[in-house]
Amino acid sequence: MAEFLTPQSEDFSKWYNEIVLKADLADYSPVRGCMVIKPYGYTLWERIRDELDLRFKETGHVNAYFPLFIPMSFLEKESEHVKGFSPELAVVTHGGGKELDEPLVVRPTSETIIGHMYSKWIQSYRDLPLLINQWANVVRWEMRTRLFLRTTEFLWQERHTAHATEEEAVEETLRMLGVYTDFCVKEAAIPVIPGRKSESEKFAGAVASYTIEAMMKDGKALQSGTSHFLGQNFAKAFDIQYLDEKNKQQLAWTTSWGVSTRMVGAVVMTHGDDQGLVLPPHLAPIQVVIVPIWRKNKERGAVLEAAKQIKERLSKLVRVKLDDREGFSPGWKYNDWEMRGVPLRIEIGPRDIVKQNVMVARRDIPGRDGKMLIPMSEIEGRIPAMLETVQDAIYQKAKDFRDGNVRDVETYDELKEAIQTGFARAWWAGDREDETRVKDETKATVRCIPDEQPGGSGTCVYTGKPATEVAIFGKAY
Amino acid sequence: MAEFLTPQSEDFSKWYNEIVLKADLADYSPVRGCMVIKPYGYTLWERIRDELDLRFKETGHVNAYFPLFIPMSFLEKESEHVKGFSPELAVVTHGGGKELDEPLVVRPTSETIIGHMYSKWIQSYRDLPLLINQWANVVRWEMRTRLFLRTTEFLWQERHTAHATEEEAVEETLRMLGVYTDFCVKEAAIPVIPGRKSESEKFAGAVASYTIEAMMKDGKALQSGTSHFLGQNFAKAFDIQYLDEKNKQQLAWTTSWGVSTRMVGAVVMTHGDDQGLVLPPHLAPIQVVIVPIWRKNKERGAVLEAAKQIKERLSKLVRVKLDDREGFSPGWKYNDWEMRGVPLRIEIGPRDIVKQNVMVARRDIPGRDGKMLIPMSEIEGRIPAMLETVQDAIYQKAKDFRDGNVRDVETYDELKEAIQTGFARAWWAGDREDETRVKDETKATVRCIPDEQPGGSGTCVYTGKPATEVAIFGKAY
């Protein structure tokens, strides 16, 4: 066990903070609530970004860039929107040495400024659908911040689309929730629950919000991505109109959706263990680390040479690093790379060269069980396949954990108990006020009305009213 | 000639604004001095970013991300730095509904906040060199703005490195100027002049600044990238110290350097003509556009099918688009894609299918001279090669233009004349005050002391003093 890490079972929250710092994912900054994303953490984010970007482009979306600043009056055009965001705003009042006539808000999200531009760009049905994404920083003045999970400034992608019909816009909203789900499952190895947000949890200004909810290793929920159907709310506020095929003016229908650097936190808290990070091979900045081993100085040259050759051969296929640092023992290096979550470690020493083998150790299976001798001649074939095996294994492990900690409950007492260690699934027919009361009494919220419903009907766990849907409850980050 | 475009010879500046808007590179925003980068312009920027990022990673640099906000007191730690930037700052005074104790500056550049973090991260010589880059937005409250060339908010990369020795830091500064030069020449097809900035043009806080200067088609200069040797100025201000091998505390040496979205403007103004953009194939979002041609409706199916097949075959090799829009004539489409600067156009009609040929038209050579019949069976071999031909040709054309408009001058009058249409190269031994006088009298500045020097000595064009270096003078954007 890594001595410097608090065990997860002792204090999960402390473990999280420690590993994010120790593994060089991020650091605190001198600016309130803002973090520095360090190279290792940023490379992980680049992998997340590239995988998502590919999926966005495949579904016909293009990237653009809109201003960081938004005139205060823009936010006020959509009443729900400004109500939701005004407590969290950072405001620029001075520019170029002078006080501004109108204060500028540092974007907390870009529906308003993009809505303004869309109203200029969209003239006719031929301009629709308009499917634009931006990768950007946003600022929300959060009271309590946590590295990656909740920071004053964070990085994200926000997609904003405009459509001719309600049907198309709803379809887009759900399609992109599917894209997020696919990314989480296949790349981040996170088994998420897709579903609809309840009334009190939805986005300020949306008609309906959809979410993917993940369960962290402490049983708490992390909202990992959202997709909003905005109806005609923003189209009305920003006058996004188009001439239809019959030459009639129509209001457009819009959507927005985003995934943020919070995803890095989700990866850490879904897979990490008491030794440190466990990174999914598809996203790991380094997939394979090679640690050369020698006792006597005369062995050094041959071992390093063999290690370099292996690196050379693998570097066309996987992201590989050779740890040839001087002054550190192999054991120290093993611990270091385990802590950083590198999926596979290749150990090579003088005897391996003689026998033309290498020892490969899996990060996700501790000790001897995770070690395997592989003939040197087979590394190109075996290593990429082993990475896929690890990817599948950690997904399955996370899914088993999640499934084992979602309880179907029938009474409010059972619900209260279930959310101590995981999620509760229960029939639900409550309204906004009921949600608030449940939250006050249990600290749990409706995470989502999951897409997967049992069918039929039941009795609401809180109000006792007849219910046609189940909801997932949990404490959330 | 494109009817909606002002000819370059009539008003270059107007031509520039028109083509940036018409070609959908960018749009004005409702926020003072901030632009919206539209999808076509942003894709061009993504290509620039990816090419540079690759070169940075190859030279051992890694990406990270630092906060958008900088405490005002940080800027004040380096006196030259704050003097240079304070007139241009955007200041956040309120956050979360309250007035802040200390105002936060929206980063105009990140030397200070990164210096602060480096002082925390760097302990020993083993931590050096530290070579970190970030891709970010920055804000400078500019008085007069121009799309891409000078905007209040812009996107850039800024690299910040720390080294154990002065020699290493200088070497890094110059190596990265070389990387920029290589990028400009090979990818952007822009023949830049690398050199040192004069005293009055250097970065606020630098010991020495280096630049690459490009000549736009109106003969004016555009600073296209800079690389700064910061000496120990920022190390002193932020206490960046390390223990050397003899266990002695030493101050580090730092550098910084950046390239911004201004590069998009450089591409536009280096290659564009009266028909619109001319994009270098290496950076063009669309390298080849296919325009299907039919007169009778019964021809439509076969032509579209053949066009699709060509697209399919080429899409593995180049960035290709099939323009199958209905309701637009082929001629209209030709003009449209010429205006957008797509390097190659493939025309395919019923007769081409019979003869198994396609017509390929080069954007950089107008009319019949740029057209060539190519057997359909050869497109995979010929099209990528033709793109390279175009890339080389537009570089050569830009270089010939540049070379033809740099005049060696011996008198101040000759200098004044030369800078009406291009650059003047002259012996120079002036100081800061002389530079200011030259600027006031001619509107030209010392663009750089070029790396390439004639050797020997001469008489300063302005002061008449003996000079050992020549300088490049020009009016600048």
Question: In this structure, are residues A211 and A192 in contact, taking their beta carbons and an 8 Å threshold?
Answer: no
pLDDT above 70 as % of chain A:
99
As a whole number of angstroms, the distance between CA A87 and CA A65 comes to 25
Q: Alpha-carbon torsion A181, A183, A185, A191, what sign? A: negative
Q: What is the pLDDT of residue A269?
A: 98
The single residue listed with the structure tokens 């990140």 is: B110
pLDDT < 50 positions in chain B: 1
Q: What is the pLDDT of residue A159?
A: 95
For the stretch A74-122, pLDDT in tens is: 998 888 888 888 889 999 999 999 999 999 999 999 999 999 999 999 9
CA-nearest residue to A155 within chain B is: B65
- Mean pLDDT to the nearest integer, A423-442: 96
| One-character DSSP codes across B184-212 | HHHTS----EEEEPPGGGS-TT-SEEEEE
Q: What is the pLDDT of residue B109?
A: 94
Domains assigned to chain B? 12-271 (3.30.930.10), 288-389 (3.40.50.800), 406-474 (3.30.110.30)
Under an 8 A CB cutoff, do B95 and A90 touch? yes
For the stretch B352-364, pLDDT in tens is: 999 999 999 999 9
As a whole number of angstroms, the distance between CA B22 and CA A376 comes to 58
Q: Alpha-carbon torsion A231, A234, A239, A243, what sign? A: negative
What tokens were used for B463?
A: 């002061």
Q: What is the pLDDT of residue A152?
A: 97
Is the pLDDT assigned to residue A200 strictly greater than 90?
Answer: no
**Closest-CA residue to B8 (of B269, B371, B242):** B269
Q: Which helix (H) or strand (E) holds B360?
A: strand B357-362
Of chain A, the end-to-end C-alpha distance in Å amounts to 26
CB atoms within 10 A of CB A240: 26
- In which region does residue A91 sit, left (phi positive, over 0), alpha (psi from -120 to 50) or beta (all else)? beta
> Residues 131-170, chain A: which have Cβ within 8 Å of B?
132, 136-137, 139, 141, 143, 152-153, 155
**Closest-CA residue to B212 (of B52, B75, B85):** B52
| One-character DSSP codes across B380-412 | HHHHHHHHHHHHHHHHHHHHHHHHHTEEE-SSH
Mean pLDDT of chain B: 96
CA B347 to chain centre: 32
Q: What is the pLDDT of residue B200?
A: 87
- Mean pLDDT to the nearest integer, A137-154: 95
As a whole number of angstroms, the distance between CA A171 and CA A255 comes to 10
Min Cα distance A348 → chain B (Å) is 25
- State how far the alpha carbon of A477 is from the alpha carbons of A204, A212, A266, in Å: 19, 14, 10
Q: What is the pLDDT of residue B1?
A: 47
The single residue listed with the structure tokens 């999970």 is: A149
Min Cα distance A63 → chain B (Å) is 5
**3-class secondary-structure state, position B452:** coil
Instruction: Say what the ipTM of the complex is.
Output: 0.95
Q: Is A54 on the interface with B (CB under 8 A)?
A: no
Q: Alpha-carbon torsion B130, B135, B136, B137, what sign? A: positive
Q: Is A23 on the interface with B (CB under 8 A)?
A: no
Question: In this structure, are residues A420 and A409 in contact, taking their beta carbons and an 8 Å threshold?
Answer: no
Q: Choose the closest CB to B68 out of A38, A95, A139.
A: A139
Is the pLDDT assigned to residue A1 strictly greater than 50?
Answer: no
Question: In this structure, are residues B383 and B399 in contact, taking their beta carbons and an 8 Å threshold?
Answer: no
Question: In this structure, are residues B324 and B291 in contact, taking their beta carbons and an 8 Å threshold?
Answer: no
CA-nearest residue to B53 within chain A is: A46
Question: In this structure, are residues B232 and B261 in contact, taking their beta carbons and an 8 Å threshold?
Answer: no
- State how far the alpha carbon of A292 is from the alpha carbons of A301, A325, A336, A338, B120, in Å: 10, 10, 14, 16, 31
Under an 8 A CB cutoff, do B87 and A97 touch? yes
